[in-house]
Amino acid sequence: MTRYSKQCIFLGIDRDSALRRAKVAVVGLGATGSVIASWLARAGVGHLTLIDRDLVELTNLQRQILYSEADIGTPKATAAVNILQRANSEIEVVPLIADLTSGNAQDVLAGYDLIMDGTDNFEARYLINDISIARQIPWIYCGAIGSEAMVWPIVLPQTPCLRCLMEQPPPAGDIDTCDSTGVLGPAVGVAASWSALEAIKILSGEEPATHLVRFDLWKNERQFISPPASRCKYCINKITEFLDDKWVVKASTLCGLDGVQIRINPPGNLDLEQFRNRLQARTGTDWKATPHTLTGTEGQLAITIFKDGRALIHGDITPERARSWYTEVVGC
């Protein structure tokens, strides 16, 4: 008996072997991404690149099954790789601690057979959709909120793209989030497991589902939604507006928390020890540096600066003031 013998009984030798030759990027290793990555690693997908910008937090553990209390404060990509390599040492699993932006998406997502959506925001999904348009790489939309689960395989040019269904991202205030609506762990598991199953179909040469699947598991609702039959101007003419968006610094209020997130485009590569010395002199307080983060306080603000240039500033501060602080201390 081999590791994949039960899977091989169902798929057959050729389709099972195709998984070993596949190269997949999982973007986002939170609730859905952690489940997707786990199933694909155990199925023997030959190469997985795991992309996430965040650290494991206590509130993640209710639904993000790859992590434990021991991983709190560790980059999700690093923690995920450590666990998945113990589950399957025969495949290549690579962590990438990165914020996906228009400035790096082309390089980060080039050369894969499939891109898996484990994100929690529409900006990243529209970037992935642009990569799919530009490079004809299939991807699978996956989302979960409350008790709802949604999955949609997008395989251009055979299927419509995300913008055929929804031309623009919904306004931020119109979107339910885990902080406003909550989310049930099993709903996450259903969405991500369905997504991983569609991935195995694509990677083994089978046709994926052509519809968007939606479940409300609390209300016992199931929908199979047919996408538009027509194609939008974006995928027809290969228009990639989100990839072409050349912003430099964004400051936005943290969802559900007091504070601001700073993002830069393209991501940088800060010398955290250099900034540690600068901030300790500026604030008169001790700052802690790890290979990936620098944390400390200035007055009533708790601040985390990431090696790629991002920053989280917790406390009573406006986005405008946070951006001013960032440009003064870090620069652009």
Query: Residue 326: CB partners within 8 Å, gap ≥ 6?
Result: 249, 251, 262, 311, 313
Instruction: Walk along the chain (332 residues) and give the pLDDT tens digit of each residue.
Output: 789 999 999 999 999 999 999 999 999 999 999 999 999 999 999 999 999 999 999 989 999 999 999 999 999 999 999 999 999 999 999 999 999 999 999 999 999 999 999 998 899 999 999 999 999 999 999 999 999 999 999 999 999 999 999 999 987 555 666 666 788 989 999 999 999 999 999 999 999 998 999 999 999 999 999 988 899 999 999 999 999 999 999 999 887 678 999 999 999 999 999 999 999 999 999 999 999 999 999 999 999 999 999 999 999 999 999 999 999 988 86
SS3 for 12?
A: coil
Q: Is-contact 45 17, C-beta < 8 A?
A: no
- What dihedral do alpha carbons 178, 36, 25, 83 form, nearest 10°? 100
DSSP 163: H
Active-site residues, by number, are 178
Using only C-alpha atoms, what is the Rg of the chain? 20
d(CA 258, CA 117): 28
- What dihedral do alpha carbons 110, 115, 121, 122 form, nearest 10°? 80
pTM metric for this prediction: 0.92
Among left, alpha and beta (phi > 0; psi -120 to 50; other), residue 182 is left
Other Cβ atoms within 10 Å of 201 Cβ, number? 16
Q: Is-contact 243 102, C-beta < 8 A?
A: yes
d(CA 198, CA 206): 9
d(CA 330, CA 307): 11
* Enclosing H/E stretch for 298: strand 293-298
